[in-house]
């Protein structure tokens, strides 16, 4: 199967499975989305959605969060991964939003990545979800699925190189939806450990499955 055909087959299958996709994080404003995405690094969206209601209630704006301390925020987010660093990032990015951006979340990669705790992946999510821009975020799920399905070659060893390769083969208007299709496939089917290969509708075109990288297990 040629590369273009592979991309078409994979994305059409996932689109049929998941339909219209969006983040599973709960939010109501670009600022809440930014906070949630920063918190979600190496943590599940389910956990973040349990933490953010109280946090958003007490600190609904950059101004409110900028006026507190990491020690206070730690108490709200102590059940997520790396709470100390994330508490510092949240207070720091809020202070920068107030000081440099008038309390508004910026909408470009260059400005977003100036914020503490905001890397390229987070910035791409904010651009795509909050502002409807063409951006393709590569997290651990997208990175893993892209390699297992041979959407990208083995030489793509960094998230940025995977992002660039995916963008070459996916139409710009599909970048944001493709991110979530690949993410959901990695989160629920093509998992890091014990992927559900025998229940995957893509195993016919999956080189990892064909090469027995993940041999099927007897159903329990």
pLDDT at 31 over 60: yes
Among the four given CATH numbers 3.20.20.140, 1.10.10.10, 1.10.1670.10, 3.20.20.10, the one describing domain 3-20+137-210: 1.10.1670.10
Query: 211 or 184, which is more confident?
Result: 184
pLDDT at residue number 214: 54
Q: Give burial (CB, 10 Å; 0-12/13-18/19+) of 113.
A: middle
Q: What is the arithmetic mean of pLDDT over 141-158?
A: 95
Is 121 in contact with 138 (CB distance < 8 Å)? Answer: yes
- All CATH 1.10.340.30 domain ranges in the chain, comma separated: 30-131
Q: Please provide residue 71's backbone torsions phi and psi, each rounded to the nearest 5 degrees.
A: -65, -40
Site of tokens 């690949």: 182
pLDDT at residue number 207: 83
Q: Whole-number mean pLDDT of the chain?
A: 93
Among the four given CATH numbers 2.60.120.10, 1.10.3720.10, 1.10.340.30, 3.40.50.620, the one describing domain 30-131: 1.10.340.30
pLDDT at 88 over 70: yes
pLDDT at 40 over 70: yes
pLDDT at residue number 4: 93
Enumerate the active-site residues: 121, 139
Condensed to tens digits (0 to 9), the pLDDT of residues 164-177 reads 999 999 999 999 99
- All CATH 1.10.1670.10 domain ranges in the chain, comma separated: 3-20+137-210
The pTM of the full predicted model, rounded to 2 decimals, is 0.88
Q: What is the arithmetic mean of pLDDT over 135-148?
A: 95
């Amino acid at each position: 199967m040629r590369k273009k055909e592979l991309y078409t087959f994979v994305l059409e299958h996932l689109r049929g499975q998941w339909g219209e996709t969006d983040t599973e994080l709960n939010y109501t404003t670009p600022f809440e989305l930014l906070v949630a995405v920063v918190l979600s690094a190496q943590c599940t969206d389910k956990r973040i959605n349990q933490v953010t209601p109280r946090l958003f209630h007490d600190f609904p704006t950059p101004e409110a969060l900028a006026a507190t301390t990491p020690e206070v925020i730690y108490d709200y987010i102590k059940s997520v991964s790396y709470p100390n660093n994330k508490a510092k990032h949240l207070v720091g990015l809020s202070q920068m939003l107030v000081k440099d951006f008038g309390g508004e979340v910026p909408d470009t990669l260059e400005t977003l990545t100036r914020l503490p705790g905001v890397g390229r992946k987070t910035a791409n999510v904010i651009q795509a979800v909050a502002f409807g821009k063409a951006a393709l975020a590569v997290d651990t799920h997208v990175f893993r699925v892209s390699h297992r399905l041979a959407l990208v070659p083995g030489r793509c060893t960094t998230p940025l190189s995977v992002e660039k390769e995916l963008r070459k083969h996916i139409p710009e208007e599909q970048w944001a939806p493709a991110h979530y299709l690949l993410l959901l496939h990695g989160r629920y089917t093509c998992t890091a450990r014990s992927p559900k290969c025998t229940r995957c509708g893509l195993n016919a075109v999956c080189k990892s499955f064909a090469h027995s990288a993940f041999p099927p297990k007897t159903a329990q």
